[in-house]
Amino acid sequence: MIWGAIVVAAGHGTRFGRPKQLVELAGKPMIAWSIEAFAAMPEIAELVIVTEPEFVERMESVAHARVQYASMQIVRGGDDRQASVRHGIAALSDQVAGILVHDGARPLVQTSDVRAGMRPVRPGTAALLATPVVDTIKIAGADGLVTRTLDRTMLWAAQTPQFATARDLRRAHADALRHELPPATDDAALLERAGLDVVIVEASPDNFKLTRPGDLVRADAILRTRGEAGLADEEILLIECFVEPAAVDAVLLEFEARDARVDEIDRDLPSATVIRAYATAAALRGFGTRLAELAGESALYTTHLSHLAPRSATADRRH
């Protein structure tokens, strides 16, 4: 599945006290952290950033320096979040089969969580990242008196990204516009209204939304603690391909060309063959498009982080 990512950075930062898209965070503009996370993922072929008209040029400067392999566009936001996402969807090409939508005010998103959110997505099934609610939640009336206590074992705090097939997400937004439904606070709500199953994928609590100035201090501390350690390492991914038996040999040759190590070929499934292989994230750039060419639009693949390896070692294996 070829993925497109939409990063929504079109708010005015009312509670934050100022627009926060380009506020410096741990030495970079806040939006740069999300851009870099998605730009590093070979699964993502297209990236759209939605922002306010007055920030378009500055956003282009930030993004172009960080996006090397995916196609990238900056588009203007709409009157509300839902309209902004709709503008982002319209900017993605028809080649994109899966779409994720992310709030630019969540700069601590991690690629391992994004991949976990991608995996359940299929026609009729969407997904979102979330964390279990740990506080006891009370419902109170206008007079401040508690009227009900909710069972927190059933409550989850929604995060982003939120994920769906391109067809399902386009339909959910089109239905909401056609029926003039009240704006939803997130895309999962639209997908629920459209009758899709929405799967919760537990994610890191660090992926919180920066809403108030104090959140900036907390996020800065976390990002600086993560430090630069990851720059010396490269991701080694476990990739699982689900293809028709007739396409197996072509896919194996493609893996060989990408210096991937095939681990297993499972021919026992009734309708597809599963090929499992290990490859560097860099070697898998453009693989989704190539897989569709070799095995057809019905071919699927998922990725999992296997481990990190020193870049010098992975570079030696590729040459």
Sequence ranges of the domains in the chain: 3-227, 232-318
Distance of CA 192 to the CA centre of its chain: 19
Q: Please state the length of the chain.
A: 319
Q: Class assignment of domain 3-227?
A: alpha beta
- DSSP letter string, 190-215: HHHHTT-EEEEEE--TT-----SHHH
pLDDT at 97: 94
Please classify residue 262 by burial: count the beta carbons closer than 10 Å to its beta carbon, then call 0-12 exposed, 13-18 middle and 19+ buried: middle
Which helix or strand (DSSP H or E) is residue 240 part of? strand 233-243
Residues 52-82 pLDDT 10s: 999 999 999 999 999 999 999 999 999 999 9
From its phi and psi, is residue 273 left (phi > 0), alpha (psi between -120 and 50) or beta?
beta
Neighbouring residues of 57: CB distance < 8 A, sequence distance ≥ 6: none
Domain 3-227 identical in fold to domain 232-318: no
Residue 96 DSSP class: -
The CATH fold assigned to 232-318 is Alpha-Beta Plaits (3.30.70)
Residue 294 phi, psi (nearest 5): -80, -35
Does the reported pTM lie above 0.85? Answer: yes
All residue ranges of the chain with pLDDT < 50 are 314-319
Residue 145 DSSP class: -
pLDDT at 319: 40
pLDDT at 135: 95
CA-based torsion, 117, 103, 282, 224: positive or negative: negative
pLDDT at 37: 96
Residues 229-263 pLDDT 10s: 555 678 899 999 999 999 999 999 999 999 999 99
pLDDT at 13: 57
Rg (CA), the chain: 21
The CA–CA distances, whole Å, from 279 to 1, 177, 233, 235, 253 equal 17, 42, 14, 9, 14
